[in-house]
Amino acid sequence: MQMPAERSVPESASPEDRLTLGEVVARTGVPASALYFYEREGLIFAERSAGNQRLYRRYMLRRVALILVAKRLGIRLGDVAAIFATLPTDRAPSHLDWERVSRSWKRELEGRRRYIENLEHQLVGCIGCGCLSMRACGLLNPGDGLGKRGQGPVRLDEASR
Ligand code: FES
């Protein structure tokens, strides 16, 4: 990954500072097209300058960073948007605001952790996907009976709920 040119941020920088699109791209590493998309999806917000240029409050950098983290963890953008919808849009979120987000996120992450743990345990066994290709399938999913209960890896999904 190419490192951005070193930028000097004044010590008086504040979360309320306005950053240009180019500054947000440089700081986050996220291309402008993705930022436009996040904006359309209501994940981030921009103001407009007198010349109609996008200006982002510095505190939007945190949202963009968390979107990137969520993507790495496989969390859907719709779920991130639902969580972000609880944050204020007219000021930098407070510690309490982020605590609330953290609680929602924790539930989501715990669900994912359970899913990964179950996958680790079941990867060499039957996950209930309908393939009937593992020795355990005949016992745990005879004749793909689990197909009547759902789509995809039914055993894995059910164990993770
Ligand atoms: S692993 Fe696919 S049905 Fe058992």
pLDDT digits (tens, 9 = 90+) for 37-94: 999 999 999 999 899 999 999 999 999 999 998 898 888 899 899 989 889 888 888 8
Closest listed residue to residue 147, CA positions, set 131, 161, 136: 131
- pLDDT tier for residue 100 given thresholds of 50, 70 and 90: confident
Give the count of domains, the chain.
Answer: 2
Mean pLDDT value across residues 24-42: 96
Q: What is the pLDDT of residue 3?
A: 55
- 152 and 74 housed in the same domain: no
Confidence (pLDDT) at 61: 93
Output the residue whose Cα is nearest ligand 1's atom 1.
126
Ligand 1: nearest atom to the Cα of 136 = 4
Whether 68 and 98 map to the same domain: the answer is yes
Same domain, 62 and 129: no
146 CA → ligand 1 middle, Å: 10
Q: List all residues whose CB is within 6 A of at least one atom of ligand 1.
A: 126-132, 134, 137, 141
Same domain, 97 and 145: no
Range of the domain at 50: 18-108
Q: Which of 76-80, 109-113, 130-134 shows the lowest mean pLDDT across its residues? A: 109-113
2, 74, 103 from 136: Cα distances, Å: 48, 29, 38
Residue 152's pLDDT is 93
Q: Which helix (H) or strand (E) holds 20?
A: strand 18-20
Cβ neighbours for 116, distance < 8 A, ≥ 6 positions apart = none
**CATH number for the domain harbouring residue 45:** 1.10.1660.10
In a domain, 2, yes or no: no
Residue 114 maps to a domain: no
Neighbours of 84 (CB within 10 A): 22
Q: How far apart are the first and last CA of the chain?
A: 38
State residue 14's pLDDT score: 81
Residue 47 in any domain: the answer is: yes
Tell me what the pLDDT averaged over the chain comes to: 88
